[in-house]
Chains A and B, each alone.
Chain A
């Protein structure tokens, strides 16, 4: 069974870059597609982007200019970078497995809270 664990700083200053890593265990990272989503405190879910097992990416148009998702198969990790952050980027960030068969996000990490504040 695939398991996911997010890691990264819990506090980022405004205008700086938010960097998170998701470590995949239980199966090969190359076998699946992966996604990042986020959830501001008390609010709903927002998709940030996908990285396919080929390494190709898709991003939310609203974040596309600031987002990069990459994958390191040797470390079994995929990563999120979000530049020029503001308080509006404060959220719980989730890494997920995107199921190509069901098109659902079928496995989620526990999530990591990132606060943007000086």
Chain B
């Protein structure tokens, strides 16, 4: 299985500041035939199911605020929250789907400083 490793495990950011979460995969998630990276980002608030924020590494899901953006290619990816809001306190997961077994990172917990 492809191993997904996120960093950091947790971070505290002041309201209005930028939050950056990194995700590294054990093999490339870039499918050459369509030039797409098979990576998604999810947000999970306490007591709630996850919600997809970004797919294809950088395509924002409909309805997701513009302050969330995904970037990266190959094995290294980033989720950026450009201006942290109180409602963004959550755990964020990256997930790959290029392999036969979808796998997730261990999660990054984002809190307010």
Judge whether B52 and A105 touch: CB under 8 Å.
yes
CA distance A49 to B111 in the complex (A): 32
Write out the residue numbers on chain A whose beta carbons fall within 8 Å of the beta carbon of B38: 103
Which residues in chain B, 79-106, are within 8 Å of chain A measured between CB atoms? 93, 95, 97, 100-106
Picked from B40, B48, B49, the residue with its CB within 8 Å of the CB of A104 is B40
Q: In the complex, what residues of B have CB within 8 A of residue A109's CB?
A: 49
Question: Is B55 engaged at the interface, CB distance under 8 Å to the other chain?
Answer: yes
Residues of A within 8 A of B56 (CB): 102
- CA–CA, A58 to B95, complex, Å? 17
Which single residue of chain B is at the shortest CB-CB distance from A102? B55
B100 to chain A, nearest CB (A): 7
Interface size class of A (residues with CB under 8 A): 10 to 19
Query: CB-nearest residue of chain B relative to A96?
Result: B49
- Assembled-state Cα–Cα distance A111/B50 (Å): 10
Scoring A residues 93 to 110 as 1 if CB is less than 8 Å from chain B, else 0, what string do you get? 010000100111110111
Contacts of A45 in B (CB 8 A): 42, 50, 93, 95, 104
Q: How far is the CB of B98 from chain A (nearest CB, A)?
A: 9
- Main SS of the interface on chain B? loop
Interface of A is mostly: loop
| B103–A47 CB distance below 8 A | yes
Which one of A46, A58, A103, A108 contacts B55 once the chains associate, using CB atoms below 8 Å?
Answer: A103
Q: Output the nearest chain A residue to B105 by Cβ-Cβ distance.
A: A44
| Interface contact A106-B104, CB-CB below 8 Å | no
* A55-70 CB contacts (< 8 Å) to partner B: 58, 60-61
Considering only CB atoms, which chain A residue lies closest to B49 in the complex? Answer: A108
Q: Is the CB of B59 within 8 A of A102?
A: yes
Closest chain B CB from A29 CB (angstroms): 19
On A, residues with C-beta under 8 Å from B are 44-47, 58, 60-61, 94, 99, 102-106, 108-111
Which residues of B does A touch, CB under 8 Å? 1, 38, 40, 42, 48-52, 55-56, 59, 61, 93, 95, 97, 100-107
Kindly list the 10 A-B residue pairs having the minimum CB-CB distance in the complex, ordered from nearest: A108-B49, A102-B55, A104-B55, A104-B40, A103-B97, A45-B104, A47-B102, A104-B52, A44-B106, A106-B52
